Structure 1
Amino acid sequence: MHEFPIWQLGPLDIEIASFIAITISALVTFLVARLAVANLSVDNPSKMQNFLEWVVDFVHNLISSAMPLKRVKPFLSLGMTLIMFIFISNLLGLPFGIVTVPHHEMLWLGITEEMVKEHVEIAWWKSPTADISVTAGLALIVFVIVHYLGLKLNNKHYLKHYFHPYPIFFPVNIIETISKPVTLALRLFANIYAGEVLIATILMLKWVGIPFLIAWQGFSIFVGGIQAFLFTMLTMVYISQAAIHDEDDHH
């Protein structure tokens, strides 16, 4: 197995491969969105414009399945950002890997003399979502957004649900609230990490593993899409549960 270099920045241990990949993921997501709206046209839309319009329609339908249709618009940009960024991040580790063998120690990157002597391979690239700290960061952002919107848009009902159906259920409801971002982070991380471990295992088979690698690459695209969909869908469900009260049902 490869070792990932760690950049020690004060009290922080930053994994270089994740840092590079998540930066590129953000740039690619921005460029895809920017190119898609560069030359908007009603009569002769470009392929990129057609693609983005399809994404908008898909995410709009996704969100509308979680909340009333008239409440969808404010959350459309959040949904598109999540699904595009996570999908791109899931796929970044598939095409190639950057691996080197260090020739001298670099303690500031966690490369010791022993690793140099043993010719340990150093990996500089992987899918950002194959790092638990990245998926946990995404889940934490969702957690903050959900509770902020709950307190802002549904302040009369939001806090009451922690004592529903009886006050004695307060600890259980707190555990349920905490478990939501935890499961979001673990589900995404586990699926993408497992896929990359399997790819690394297949690569050890050399040329014999090429057919398996091609087949798994195709399946990984499907898994990456499903995980991006699930993360976005569950985010919208949590927002709907916290911020969209049922006043529409009383009319």
Structure 2
Amino acid sequence: MVTCVNDAMFPDTGKAVVTLLRRLGVDVEFPEAQTCCSQPMVNTGYLDEAVPVVRTWVQAFAGYDAVVTPSGSCAGTCRHQHGLVAERSGDPALVQAVAETGPRVHELSEFLVDVLGVTDVGAYFPHQVTYHPTCHSLRLLGVGDRPRQLLEAVRGLRLVELPEATQCCGFGGTFAMKNADTSVAMGADKARHVRETNAEVLVAGDNSCLMHIGGMLSRQQAGVRVMHLAEILAATEPDETQPVTLPDVARGKGVTT
């Protein structure tokens, strides 16, 4: 499940997931019928409007052994909030479909560590990195230290602690639109803590949060890039004759090293 944000704005993250999973021997399919998971509607209180979206979602992902997504917030929606929407619909068939598909949804780090049983995915990323645990992955899913386990096993990567790591970055989906001043203030705190680490790269499991923090870091000319966890885990040791380009989630110019 690529998610709306990645499909529309950060397709390299979706490609990185496919590359990584296939490298680990997983048979990956991309259902082209997939659409939004319904998170924006559910989080804003539009449960009735979310019913046809959830119905489309469960139809697209029916029958798979696992649904893997590079987003803690979308995984949390599918696993914990689709049930609320289904009950609201009064449709027993939708309730049953959600009960079958929901438990099969995994945020990427959960799938790698818990289902595949791997932490060393063969990645190589010779940079100093700090990690931001996004709210939904931390609180709704409880992914714990799984992303850190994966990062610590990446060859060449130097992981540094992010001060006040568990504080929200301020994005919060529609929250950032409706409460812009508060969102910006929270994001400024997060960006300041990122700069304090002297990291070259900020990594997280949700591009929505990285877009928010990355935009601030870019405007501050902080010299810190942001990357999704999947893109780091998909990276391998390059041909010595070829440069490595670090993408920026805010889509400024990459840095060649």
Instruction: Provide the TM-score with structure 1 as the length reference.
Output: 0.23
Larger RCO: Structure 1 or Structure 2 (Cα < 8 Å, ≥ 6 residues apart)?
A: 1
Question: Of the two, which has the highest radius of gyration?
Answer: 1
Q: Going by fraction, where is helix more abundant, 1 or 2?
A: 1
